[in-house]
A and B are shown apart, each in its own frame.
Chain A
Amino acid sequence: MRFLPKSDAERRQMLEALGLESVEELFAQIPPELRLGRPLALEPGRSEFEVLEFMRACGRQNKTGLPCFLGAGAYHHYRPVVVETLASRGEFLTAYTPYQAEISQGLLTAIFEFQTMICQLTGMDVANASMYDGSTAMAEAALMARRITGREHVVVAASVHPEYREVLRTYAHNQAIRIREAPYDPESGAVNVRAAASLLDDNTAALIIQSPNFFGVVEPLGELAEAAHAAGALLIHAFSEAVSLGLLAPCEQADIVAGELQSFALPPSYGGPYAGVIATREKFVRQLPGRLVGQTTDTRGNRAFCLTLATREQHIRREKATSNICTNQALVALMATIFMTAYGKQGLRELAEQNLAKAHYLAARLPLRFRGPFFNEFVVRCEAQPPEAINRALAGRNIIGGLPLARFYPELSDCMLLCVTEMIRREDMDRVAEVFQPGGAA
């Protein structure tokens, strides 16, 4: 078997050294009734060529490589080639968690740079070395707020990604955390500040707002932060479209930022693996879950990096840990780091500006549902025919349409969420606009 670097002669040599006759004796301690007396019922092993052919056939079964107007938490952005080139180096790809600092300086340095760039983008003081994804980052941020404030409940906006809210519910359920939902304003598509404020009480740990929200609308974070702080709660700013950070102002009054970095790292990959991140103020650092890389010196006085504040983590605190998270999404975070470095200060802004311009070009030609300011996603009303019919017509023109909202927001079942990134060309947008015309979906 090509992954096993031993010959039968070598195996025999090793058995001799062990004083054994056959490899079966190595399993003698397993009770016979527990021994699987047959080969596993799986297809026989295949050559590399056959495995890849199978995977390529699966790929061909999918409809991809077409202009795609789906966003909603997973985005199509141009990823520079060097991201893959550098992240696929064996020294990054096949490395272990950098517990042994002396032989992991490459990775630790890159994570330190990652943490710094996230702080620069979000305006926070400290960021961790990534979480599983945006949804779990948001849930962990809520748990963090609870630890910090000692309060038990949270208020989350209904305009936060529905699946993020579901994950929050799963996490909250077992910690006896009550969740209240703050409604969105049907005109603007943003959270109704007064309604949100009225849901806050002296047992609210945090107000959780996504911006840009699920509808693409930019939320009034400053006002919401004020309302949260007035009630003694923290403001958690969640985001799912990292590119927005290139253009949108960070909220100075936010206490915790929790978001998704998929846009910076890799294509949608059918939902994963992604990388989340949590950033916060210095004073909350000891409540931050996940790995942290810190700067220090070695015995010769050279600058070096290492994992630090490990006592927050599961392997030391065990049942008193801040979280049970063990993995960070190191490779995905590394991809994001390379992406952010390659685009750089100007490039990231330009990328965001292109998204804004293109999205507004298409939105101007369609019936918008909400009036609030938006980034690269927006909700349109499907007046002449239902969203599914529009999408069928688009599919006929080899375009993947937007997300019909009925499954998440029954009150918006005549609506569709469209996302436009820098990868969409003008002619594709013109074709979409045509289909929305009366008779256009014929």
Chain B
Amino acid sequence: MYPEDFKYTREHEWVKVEGDVGVVGITFYAQQALGDIVYVDLPKVGTRVEQGKPLGSVESVKAVSDIYAPVSGEVIEVNEALVEQPELLNRDPHGAAWLAKIRLNSPEELNNLLDAAQYQALVAEES
């Protein structure tokens, strides 16, 4: 369920590192808890984000949830597909529905995150 090569936050975001860039998204557990997603508020390209601080939000009909940046750096790309099709987040949260790509400025932060096994345990606890 949860890809081995991702790192995870306690707030249910994931990051996949490709060189000095982190691709970030929200997990399957997160989208399931939110229900049908109707809107995604993504940061602008060029925004500086900080690990643990909000970089955007995701909305269902009756709730809004902040998305916290798993890593610090600069947003170099956002997933425009989510503007037209927010439902992608429900369908493929670990793949096609990535949210943003961040150029990392402090890769050592990745050590603060959970690996797949730890995240799996967290999810089992919260359920």
| Chain A contacts to B: CB under 8 angstroms | 286, 310-311, 316-317, 320
**Which residues of chain A have C-beta atoms less than 8 A from B61's C-beta?**
310-311
A contact residues around B60 at 8 Å (CB): 311
16 intermolecular pairs with C-beta atoms under 8 Å apart: A286-B39, A310-B61, A310-B62, A311-B38, A311-B39, A311-B59, A311-B60, A311-B61, A311-B62, A311-B63, A311-B64, A316-B62, A316-B63, A316-B64, A317-B64, A320-B64
Name 13 extra pairs, CB < 8 A, besides A311-B60, A311-B61. A286-B39, A310-B61, A310-B62, A311-B39, A311-B59, A311-B62, A311-B63, A311-B64, A316-B62, A316-B63, A316-B64, A317-B64, A320-B64
Residues B35-83 near A (CB distance < 8 A): 38-39, 59-64
The SS class assigned to the B binding surface is strand
Chain A residues with CB below 8 A from B62, complex form: 310-311, 316
Contacts of A311 in B (CB 8 A): 38-39, 59-64
Which residues of B line the A interface, CB within 8 A?
Answer: 38-39, 59-64
CA distance A311 to B61 in the complex (A): 7
4 nearest CB pairs, A to B:
A311-B59, A311-B64, A317-B64, A316-B64
Give chain A residues whose Cβ lies under 8 Å from the Cβ of B64: 311, 316-317, 320
Q: Look across to chain B and name the residue whose beta carbon is closest to the beta carbon of A308.
A: B61
> What residues of chain B lie closer than 8 Å to A286, measured between beta carbons?
39
CA distance A286 to B38 in the complex (A): 12
Complex CA gap A292/B61 in Å reads 13
Note all chain A residues with C-beta closer than 8 A to B63: 311, 316
Residues in chain B near residue A316, CB distance under 8 A: 62-64
- CB-based nearest B residue for A318: B64
A310 — which chain B residues lie within 8 A by C-beta? 61-62
- Give the complex CA separation of A311 and B58 in angstroms: 10
Q: Tell me how far the C-beta of B39 lies from the nearest C-beta in chain A, rounded to whole angstroms.
A: 7
Q: Which of B39, B60, B64 counts the most A-chain CB atoms under 10 A from its CB? A: B64
Could you tell me the distance between the alpha carbons of A286 and B59 in the complex, rounded to whole angstroms? 12
| Closest CB in chain A relative to B94 CB, distance in Å | 24
CB distance from A310 to the nearest CB of B (A): 7
Which residues of the other chain, A, contact B59 by a CB distance below 8 angstroms? 311
Closest Cβ neighbor of A315 among chain B residues? B62
Cα-based distance from A310 to B60 in the complex (angstroms): 10
When C-beta atoms are compared, the residue in chain A nearest to B38 turns out to be A311
B37 to chain A, nearest CB (A): 11
Q: Which residue of A lies closest to B63 (CB)?
A: A316
A403 and B108 alpha carbons, distance in the complex (Å): 71
CB distance from B44 to the nearest CB of A (A): 10
CA distance A320 to B38 in the complex (A): 18
A311, chain B: closest CB distance, angstroms: 5
A321: nearest residue on chain B (CB-CB)?
Answer: B64
Q: Measured between alpha carbons, how far is A165 from B11 in the docked complex, in Å?
A: 44
Closest Cβ of chain B: how far from A316's Cβ, in Å?
6
Report chain B residues within 8 Å CB of A317. Answer: 64
Task: Determine the distance from Cα of A52 to Cα of B67 in the docked complex, in whole angstroms.
Answer: 58
Q: Across the two chains, which residue of chain A brings its CB closest to B61?
A: A310
Nearest CB of A to B103, in Å:
23
Q: Give the shortest distance, in Å, between A317 (CB) and chain B (any CB).
A: 6
Q: Write the chain B residue with the least CB distance to A317.
A: B64
Q: How far is the CB of B55 from chain A (nearest CB, A)?
A: 15
Give chain A nearest CB distance to B19 CB in angstroms: 32
Q: How far is the CB of B36 from chain A (nearest CB, A)?
A: 13
Bound CA–CA A310/B61 (angstroms): 7
A437: shortest Cβ distance to chain B, in Å? 65
A308 CB to nearest B CB, Å: 8
Q: How far is it, in angstroms, between the C-alpha of A311 and the C-alpha of B38 when the chains are bound?
A: 10
